[in-house]
Amino acid sequence: MCCIDTPKKIFGKLYQSVYFCGVMTKAERTRHFIVEKAAPIINKKGMAGTSINDIVEATRLTKGSVYGNFESKDEICLEAFDYLAKRVGADIVMAMSRANSNKDKLFALFEYYLAVVSQENTYGCPLLNFGTEADDTNPIVKQKVNKAILATENLIAKVVRSGIEAGEFKRSFDPETFSIKAFAMIEGGMWIARLQGNNKQLQIILDSLKQEIDDYCQ
């Protein structure tokens, strides 16, 4: 589904890299390009902490060019969150799809988070970063994060449910409780890992979740 565009020289500047679809118009591709470059910066420095100039520098475009494709900084932030959330969601589904049993799907989810937290240029979970900033300031982002939380929890609950139906897990394994608990532990654990600068506590948290799953296996 993806294709690579030849980098274009405009006014002597090299400014585009990878596009997701060749049938996009120029404007759509540039919009996507801007979001792609802005998203990690916003995830790192926050919405309030990121200036248009940061985005201009990262894209190597100009302010007029950025505002030719977006109404406002706010719109860029919204699309940046959507982009990051969609990517995380896709990566999780991908990681889980490779596992065969439902237990292994849950374990794959844990491994994904463990891998992502130590990755360079990732700057932590976008749900946590955007969520904590938005909860008292930006109701639109807040609602988007809220939906993403519920979606992730539902994903976990669904796996547990199909594990029960497949006879893999005991019937006493409560999908809703576990999904809520596991998600809170993962987000809390990733937050701690980033602040501590290591995965020690996150590892303990994920091991504890794995233990709980094993206890519910039959």
Partner DNA sequence: ACCATTTTATACCGATCGGTATATTATTGC
Partner DNA sequence: GCAATAATATACCGATCGGTATAAAATGGT
Instruction: Name residue 169's beta-bridge partners.
Output: 217
Residues of span 131-150 touching a second copy by CB under 8 A:
131-133, 135-137, 142, 145-146, 149
Please answer whether residues 159 and 167 qualify as being in contact, where contact means their C-beta atoms are separated by less than 8 angstroms. no
Answer for which of 43, 69, 102, 152 binds DNA (CB under 7 A) is: 69
Residues for the chain: how many in total? 218
Q: Which of residues 157-186 bind a second copy (CB under 8 A)?
A: 176-177, 180-181, 183-186
Write each residue from 34 to 63 as x if it is in contact with DNA (CB under 7 A), else as -, in one continuous string.
Answer: ----------------xxxxx------xxx
The 99-138 contact track toward a second copy, x by CB under 8 A, reads: ------------------------xx---xx-xxx-xxx-
Q: Which is nearer to DNA, 52 or 99 (CB)?
A: 52
| Residue 89, CB-side half-sphere exposure with 13 Å CA sphere | 17
Q: Is 35 left (phi over 0), alpha (psi -120 to 50) or beta?
A: alpha
CA distance 144 to 139: 9
Q: How far is the CB of 144 from a second copy (least distance, A)?
A: 10
Q: Give DSSP secondary structure letters for 71-110.
A: S-HHHHHHHHHHHHHHHHHHHHHHHHHT-SSHHHHHHHHH
> In this complex, which beta carbon is closest to a second copy, that of residue 34 or of residue 209?
209
The answer to the question of residue 170 lying near DNA (CB under 7 A) is no
Q: Which does 25 bind (CB under 5 to 8 A by kind): DNA, a second copy, none?
A: DNA
